[in-house]
Chain A
Amino acid sequence: MTESILGIILSALLTENFILVKFYGICPFMGVSKKIDTALGMGMAVTFVMALASAACYGVDLILQALSLTYMQTVVFILVIASIVQVVEMFLKKAVPALYKALGVFLPLITTNCAVLGVVLVNVQEGYGFLHSVVNGAAGGLGFTLAIVLFASVRERVDKAECPECFKGFPIALITAGLLALAFMGFSGLKIF
């Protein structure tokens, strides 16, 4: 636990960006990045769930450790994440119907987003404390949002550009993402302790 909070935020946002460097959450990154608005909505929802899941799974992991059941981590964590997503969905439906409507389809999709399970597993492996876990979750989610919004804004233009027949659609999107990842490589080596 030598890393400072600022260091965690910086690395989750830029140098170790969840999508472009660590490859967590590629499915929604590719699937929900056709428009900037929806990309932003997805990003915010994921950030929220990631922070909440980090906090909840920190507690759950303590219980698992006390019972020496740590080998059940994967099963338990995915259940916790699925139920958090469900609760968030029900809460938003009652409390903030406008936001619920805007997010709609994306909410249930978050369960199978590897970024959420990924961040929880990384928290446990790195042995982060409660505060560090939550910060890592939230910052990771913001990094996800940053990457998906940038990518969506590039993609809106790329879709209209001409390219070889066999590259149309998904392949050109992957190449675009590759160039974006190349730009993010420039951040590597950036460190604050």
Chain B
Amino acid sequence: MDFKKQFKEGLLTKNPVLVQLLGMCSTLAITTSLFNGLGMGIAVTIILICSNVLISALRKVIPSQIRIAAYIVIIAGFVTIVDLLLQAYIPALSESLGVFIPLIVVNCIILGRAEAFASKNGVLASAVDGLCQGIGYTTALVIVCVIRELLGSGTFGGGLLNGGEGIRIIPEGYPAMQIVMPVGGFLVLGCVIAGSQFLMKKLETRKMDKEAAK
């Protein structure tokens, strides 16, 4: 088990959103304010850790023919728990994420990690994997959120800071409303992924240069 490697994979080299391109629906739909992005990220991280742990613990019991159905039921159970908890304790978040909380069930990240990692590895490693992938997902969401909120509503930290209003950076009337609408989701995510590919390539060439210099 290599915690550092798993962390690096989750956050950078195998980031679920930016590299593996999983869980696009939620990434595009709810990234309109920092509050939504953080809330969704944390909810998914918790569900990912729980489902990874349980699936990894049961990996020898579940027959492989019906494993996908079993995984989906386990995931749906945890999603329901989180959904009810959010409704009870953070109703504002539950309201603004709406139908996308129950839709976490079909978020490919969770099923993907269950199939690719938790079904083959031990409980502790799977928990760490869930945490790292969750952090990677949350980071990507937060990046997209901050850009969209800044350009679309001209604020930072909407729903969280300054009594829910967010800190105004661009004066009212100037921000491009379309960025918080569906169009902006596609455009901003496209640019963010392009940016991450650009950075990744740069890091790779630098690494190769270093090795060549040796």
A-side residues, CB < 8 A to B, are 20-27, 30, 71-75, 78-79, 82, 111-114, 117-118, 121-122, 125, 164-167, 170-175, 177-179, 181-182, 185
Query: Which of chain A's residues have a CB closer than 8 A to the CB of B198?
Result: 165-166
Q: Is the pair A172, B190 in contact by a Cβ cutoff of 8 Å?
A: yes
Contact residue among B29, B111, B183 (Cβ-Cβ distance under 8 Å from A112): B111
Offer 15 A-B interface pairs, CB within 8 angstroms, sorted by A.
A24-B103, A26-B28, A30-B24, A74-B80, A78-B106, A79-B72, A111-B68, A113-B106, A118-B103, A121-B99, A122-B99, A170-B21, A171-B194, A175-B191, A177-B190
Q: How far is the CA of A147 from the CA of B99 in the complex (A)?
A: 21
Query: Are A174 and B76 in touch, CB under 8 angstroms?
Result: no
Report the count of interface residues on B (CB-CB < 8 A): 41
When distances are taken between beta carbons in the complex, the residues of chain A under 8 Å from B184 are 178
Q: Which residues of A contact B187 (CB under 8 A)?
A: 174-175, 178
Cβ-closest 9 pairs across A and B: A178-B186, A174-B190, A23-B29, A171-B194, A166-B198, A26-B24, A178-B187, A75-B76, A175-B190
Residues of B within 8 A of A (CB): 21-22, 24-25, 28-29, 68-69, 72-73, 76-77, 79-80, 83-84, 99, 102-103, 105-108, 111, 178, 181-187, 189-191, 193-195, 197-198, 201
Chain A proximity of B184: nearest CB distance (Å): 8
- Chain B interface SS verdict (over half): helix
In the assembled complex, which residues on chain A have CB atoms less than 8 Å from the CB atom of B107? 114
Are the CB atoms of B102 and A112 closer together than 8 Å? no
A185 to B187, CA, bound (A): 14
Chain B residues whose C-beta falls within 8 Å of the C-beta of A179 in the assembled complex: 183
* Residue numbers in A under 8 Å from B186 (CB-CB): 174-175, 177-178, 181
Contact indicator B99/A82 (Cβ below 8 Å): no
* Contact in complex: B201, A166 (CB < 8 Å): yes
- In the complex, chain A residues whose CB is within 8 Å of the CB of B68: 111
Out of B76, B106, B185, B189, name the residue touching A114 (CB < 8 Å). B106
Checking A26, A72, A82 against B69 with a beta-carbon cut-off of 8 angstroms, the contacting residue is: A82
Give bound CA distance, A167 to B69, whole Å: 37
Q: Known contacts A117-B103, A125-B99, A185-B183; is A71 also within 8 Å of B190 by CB?
A: no
Candidates A20, A27, A172; contact of B108 at CB < 8 Å: A27
With beta carbons under 8 angstroms apart, the residue of A23, A25, A27 that contacts B182 is: A23
Contact A22 B29 (CB under 8 A): yes
Closest partner residue, chain A, to B200 (CB atom): A166
> Using Cβ atoms and an 8 Å threshold, which residues of chain B touch A25?
25
Inter-chain contacts of B73 with A (CB < 8 A): 75, 78-79
Given known contacts A23-B185, A174-B189, A178-B185, what 12 new A-B pairs fall within 8 Å (CB)? A22-B182, A74-B76, A74-B79, A74-B80, A79-B73, A112-B106, A112-B111, A114-B106, A170-B21, A172-B190, A178-B187, A185-B183
